[in-house]
Amino acid sequence: MKAVLAIARREIDAYFASPLGWVSLSAFLVVTGFMYASILSDFSQQSTTAAFNPYMADQYNLNNWVLPGFFGNWSVILLFIAPAISMRMFSEDMRQRSFELLLSSPVSSGEIVLGKYLGALGFLGLMFGATAHYVLILYWLGTPDPGVLASSYLAVFLLAASFIALGMLASAFTVNQVVAFVTTFGALLVLWVLSWTESILPGTAGTVLSAASMLSHLDQLTKGLLHLEDAAYFAGFIGFFLFATQQRIESMRWR
């Protein structure tokens, strides 16, 4: 476990030792900040009107309007940011030949994968941590439901963690980071739009494909509802890609 943590720690440091980490972090904060500001200003204008309508005033609050819209936007931003985080995970090591240090050290391929993945999640955690001021502002403005807030954060974290797991596998297949980025982005887009198939494809096929889509599992979470099947979907998704990456790394010894 010490080796896993050492690998994770080095991964986090590597993000901040290169422009990639800073650029991803800045881009994420700038775009989410812009969306946050526009949603809040929109909410503030609308709420003035809503204040005169007793029914609307009851419905129109931070939890129902601001949080779902805001975190819903995050999922789109993460479609771009997550591949940027994952693209270097193995590609960089393979390109600069530092991978041989890991391969010749007494750590298993599973530990290497886990260490790198935890490192990327650590960076993701720091990135999300840097959005704490959005939450503080909400508390200053009103009374957001801490449950909805927590589950919204959990939802986007699970989503990004799934994106990164898929991206890590892509990065284990190529020394070229751009190829890893594009492959991940393309695969994520396909998984994203699978939910549309329910309306196009009638019957079981449409339902199954839609159930495989990320969007269908995200909706409930961003409303503050944590269902077992949604949690299982993300856990299964992440587990599958971690396992596939471990198998890929192991197979490299034999190719």
Partner 1 sequence: MIEVEKLTRRFGAHTAIEDVSFKVERGEVVGFLGPNGAGKTTTMRILSGCIGATQGRALIDGMDVLEKPREVKSRVGYLPEVPPLYGNMSVGDFVAFAARIKGVDDAEAAATRAMEQVGLLDVRERIIDHLSKGYRQRVGLAQALVHDPDVLILDEPTSGLDPAQRREIRELLRALAEGERTVILSTHVLGEVEAVCERVIIINEGHIVARDRIDALAARSGAIRLRVARPGDDLPGVLRSVPGVREVEAQPDGSWLVHADDDVREQVARAVVDRGLLELAINQQLEDIYLRLTRGGEA
Q: In the complex, which residues of this chain contact partner 1 (CB under 8 A)?
A: 2-3, 6-7, 10, 13-14, 17-18, 96-108, 253-255
Helix, strand and coil percent figures for the chain, each rounded to 5: 85, 0, 15
CB of 14 to partner 1, least distance (A): 7
CB of 126 to partner 1, least distance (A): 18
- Of the pair 5, 215, the CB lying nearest partner 1 is at 5
Query: What is the smallest separation between the CB atom of 242 and partner 1, expressed in angstroms?
Result: 19
Residues whose CB is less than 8 angstroms from the CB of residue 179 and which lie 6 or more positions away in sequence, other chains included: 91
**Alpha carbon 119 to chain centroid distance?**
14
Q: Which is nearer to partner 1, 5 or 35 (CB)?
A: 5
**Which tokens belong to 23?**
């650029």
Minimum CB–partner distance for residue 136 and partner 1 (Å) = 34
Question: At a CB cut-off of 8 Å and minimum separation 6, what does 136 contact?
Answer: none
Compare residues 90 and 234 and give the one whose CB is closer to partner 1.
90
* C-alpha–C-alpha distance, residues 166 and 132, integer Å: 27
Please name the residue that has the structure tokens 């931003």.
Answer: 77
Q: Which is nearer to partner 1, 6 or 212 (CB)?
A: 6
